[in-house]
Chains A and B, each alone.
Chain A
Amino acid sequence: MSKSFTTIRSTGVPLKIENIDTDQIIPARFLKATTREGFGQNLFRDWRFYSDGRPKEGFILNDPGYHGKILVAAKNFGCGSSREHAAWAIKDYGFDVVISSFFADIFKNNALNNFLLPVTVSENFLQLIFDAIRQDAETLIEVNLDKQLIQLAGIGTEEKFEIDNYKKTCMLNGYDDIDYLLSITQEIEKFEALRI
C-alpha cells in the first residue's frame, strides 16, 4: 500500500448510484480474514459477479471501456457499516481516489487512514464529471492534493475541495495517526492523572 499521496492524473470509473453502502462495497461474508490483504477481488462482489462467479456484464467494473485509479460515485458514498474492509477493498482493487458529492463520516476517516483520498465535490461538478466520462471514457481527471484542486483535464473545468490541514499533511507525507498518538503518550498520561 502506497503511504503517501501527491497528484493523481487518471481516467475515472463512473458508478452513478446513490447511497452506496459498505455492505455493497464488501459484503459481510468476506470479512472473515484476519489480514488486510486481498479484499480487492471481492470489491462490489454481488454487483460484479453472479453467485457462480461469472462476471455480470452490465456492471461498470466489468466493462473494459472504463478503467483508472479514480472511482466516481453518486452521493452518500460509504454509508452503513463501519467496516474498514471497504476502504481496503477499494484501495486493493487499485483505486487511489474516490470522488462523490457526499461521503459518510466513518468511511471518510477509514479511507484517509488508508491513503485513499475521498474528494467531495459539488453536485454540479459531479454531474460534469459523469457527463464528461460518458462522452469520453478516456477523459483525464487530475486531483492535486497539495493545491486541493480537482480538474477535468482538457475541458479545463476545476473545483477546490476541502480537507483538514492535519489530514492533508498526513496524506502528503505518509504520516500515520498512530505514530502521532504514540508520540504524545506522556500528555495522555498527564490527562488521565488530572481526571481521577
Chain B
Amino acid sequence: MVAITMAGALNRALHDAMDEDDRVVIFGEDVAELGGVFRVTDKLVERFGTDRCFDTPLAEAGIVGTAIGMAMYGYRPVVEIQFDGFSYPAFEQITSHLAKMPNRSRGTVRLPVVVRIPFGGGIGAVEHHSESPEALYAHTAGLKIVTPSTPSDAYALLRASITSPDPVLFFEPKRRYWAKEDVELPVETEAIGQAVVRRAGTTATLISYGPTVATCLEAAAAAAEEGWDLQVIDVRSLVPLDIDTLVAAVGATGRAIVVHEASVFGGIGAEIAAELLERAFYLLEAPVLRVGGFDIPYPASRLEHYHLPDVDRILDAVERSLAY
C-alpha cells in the first residue's frame, strides 16, 4: 500500500486509459509540458508524445467544440477546463452539442468525450476559480455528471468516464487534490451511477458529493462525541442519480441532510430533497434539509469560509432535523 493523492490517482487513470486505448487523446490549456496547473496531466506528454497530449490555444469553446469534432472522427478526447468558472465560455458547445448531438442523431453519433473540470472553493483563489456549477450542467439532459471524493474513486470513476459511450463532465474537487489514501492502483472500475455509503450510521443521513464528503465525515466524527451516529452517503454520480441507494439509506435513519458547496437554490440538494419526498415520504421523520453555499456570488477568498458549509453548519442542520 502506498499513500496516493487524488491528483496522482487521476494522473494514473489518464495514463492507464491512454495506455489501453490509442484513441484516448488529452488536450487543453497547459496540459502538456506543464502537466496542468494542478499537475493532473503530469508527464503524459513525455510518455505518449505530442499527438496524444497537447496544449491548445486559450479558448474553452474551442477545446470542447474541437473535442466534439475529434470524437466524431473516432477519437476519445479527454479535455481539461482549467477552472470551473472558465467552463462558461464552453457552455454552448457543452449544452447545445455535447449533450444533444447523440439524441439529435438518433444515436448514430456518439460523443465519448470527457470534460474534466476542477471545481469548488476553499483554496483561497481569486474570483472565478472556486465555483460549483454542477447544477447548471446536471439540468441539461444528455450529459453524465460525475464527481469523486477519494483518490481510489477518482481513479475508478475517471476510467469509467473515459470508456463511457456518453459525454461525461468530470468534476474534480480541487481542494481535495492533495488528500491521500492508502491504496494500490489500479482499482476495479465501477459503473457510473452508483452512490456509496461512506460511513454507516443510524441517527441521520448526510448526503453529499465531491469536496464536502470529507466535511461530512468530519462532522460525523465530531457528532459521535455527542452520541449521534451519522450515516454519510457519497452520491458520486449526479447524473444519473442513484436514487435507490439514497432512499434505502434514508429509510433506515428517517432523516436526511444534503450537503454541497453550491448555492442551495435550484441546486442538486433541491433535486435530491424532492426525490426523497416523492419516494420516501412515509419513511421520513423530518423534512429533508439542505446545507450549502449561500445564494450569493462566490465571495472573496478571505470571506469564503463564511460561505462554505463546514462541520458546524452541518451539525446545526442535524440538530434541526432531530428537533422534529
Q: State yes or no: do A and B come from one complex.
A: no
Q: Which residues of B contact A (CB under 8 A)?
A: none
Q: Which residues of A contact B (CB under 8 A)?
A: none
